[in-house]
Amino acid sequence: VNKIMDKQKLLDEIAKKIEETEGGPLKAPGINSVPGEGNPDTDVFFCGEAPGFNENEQKRPFVGVSGKLLRRVMVENGFLEKDVFITNIVKFRPPENRDPTPQEIEFFKPFLDKQIEIIDPKVIVTLGRFSMYKFLGEGVGITRIHGQPHSINWHGKTVTIFPMFHPAAALRDPSTMKFIKEDFIKLK
Ligand code: URA
C-alpha cells in the first residue's frame, strides 16, 4: 500500500509539472493538460498518441469515440480501467487533431519517460505508430508486428512492448477491429 501511495504521489507531481508547461509548444486558448490516469502500480501501461477534443474537455485520456471503443475492449478482456494506466506521448491536444510534430514529442518525452520510470510496468501497449516508434524505432510497420510482444531494454530494465493498432483505425475499418480484439486476447 505504501509503495502504491508513493508512486501516486510521484505521478501527481509529474501531472502538476505537465500542467505548469501550459501546453509548451501546443499552448493555445482553452487547452488543458491530459497527463494520464490509472493504477500507479500496474503491470500494463497503455500509451496512445495525443489527446483529442473530448480528452481536452475532460482532461482525461481516451474518453472520446475511439477511447470508448478501447476501454470497452479492454474491460471485455479483463483489463479493468482501475487496474491499468492510460496515457499518451503528447500531453496536450494538437490543433485540429493533427499528428504531433517531432518537436512536440521531444518536449513531452521527459514527462512520459518519468511516468514509465515511476510505474515500472511489465508491458507497454503502444497504440498507434508514434507510440510504437518511440520504443521500437521507426523501421517497423504496425501491420506486420501488431500483437507480437517485443522484449526490449528500457533504461536498464527489461520491458515488453506490445504494439497494437490505434482504436481510431478500427473505427474506419472493421477488419482492424478484429485485429485489436485478437491482440487483446494475446495480451491477456
Ligand atoms: N487518441 C489518442 O491517441 N489518445 C487519446 O487520448 C485519445 C485519442
101 and 121 Cβ atoms separated by less than 8 Å? no
The dihedral through the CA atoms of 126, 131, 133, 136 has a sign that is: negative
Ligand 1 mean position, distance from CA 105 (Å): 14
Q: What are the pLDDT digits (tens) for 72-118?
A: 999 999 999 999 999 999 999 999 999 999 999 999 999 999 999 99
* DSSP-derived 3-state class of residue 10: helix
pLDDT value of residue 162: 98
Of the chain, the percentage scoring pLDDT greater than 70 comes to 100
Q: Provide the pLDDT for residue 182.
A: 97
Whether 21 shows a pLDDT value over 90: the answer reads yes
* Ligand 1 nearest atom to the CA of residue 128, by list position: 3
Convert the pLDDT of each residue in 107-165 to its tens digit: 999 999 999 999 999 999 999 999 999 999 999 999 999 999 999 999 999 999 999 99
Q: What is the pLDDT averaged over residues 167-181? A: 95
Please give the DSSP secondary-structure letter assigned to residue 124: E
Distance between CA atoms of residues 83 and 40, nearest Å: 9
Contact yes or no for 185/74 (Cβ under 8 A): no
> In sequence order, which residues have a C-beta less than 8 Å from that of residue 22 and are 6 or more positions away?
31
**What is the rounded CA–CA span in Å between residue 32 and residue 14?**
15
Atom 7 of ligand 1, nearest CA residue: 62
Burial profile 114-123: b = 16 or more Cβ within 10 angstroms, e = fewer: bbbebbebeb
**58 neighbors 68 (Cβ within 8 angstroms):** no
**30-78 tens-digit pLDDT:** 999 999 999 999 999 999 999 999 999 999 999 999 999 999 999 999 9
Q: Would you state the pLDDT for residue 187?
A: 97
- Residue 150: the pLDDT is 98
**Residue 175 per-residue DSSP state:** H
CB 129 within 8 A of CB 169: no
Which residues does ligand 1 sit against, CB inside 6 Å? 48-52, 55, 61-62, 64, 66-67, 88, 128
Is the confidence at residue 1, as pLDDT, over 90? no
Going from the Cα of 26 to the center of ligand 1, the distance in angstroms, rounded, reads 16
Cα–Cα dist 55/49, whole Å:
12
Ligand 1 center from residue 1 Cα (angstroms): 30
Pocket test for ligand 1, best of 26, 45, 46, 49 (most atoms within 8 A of CB): 49
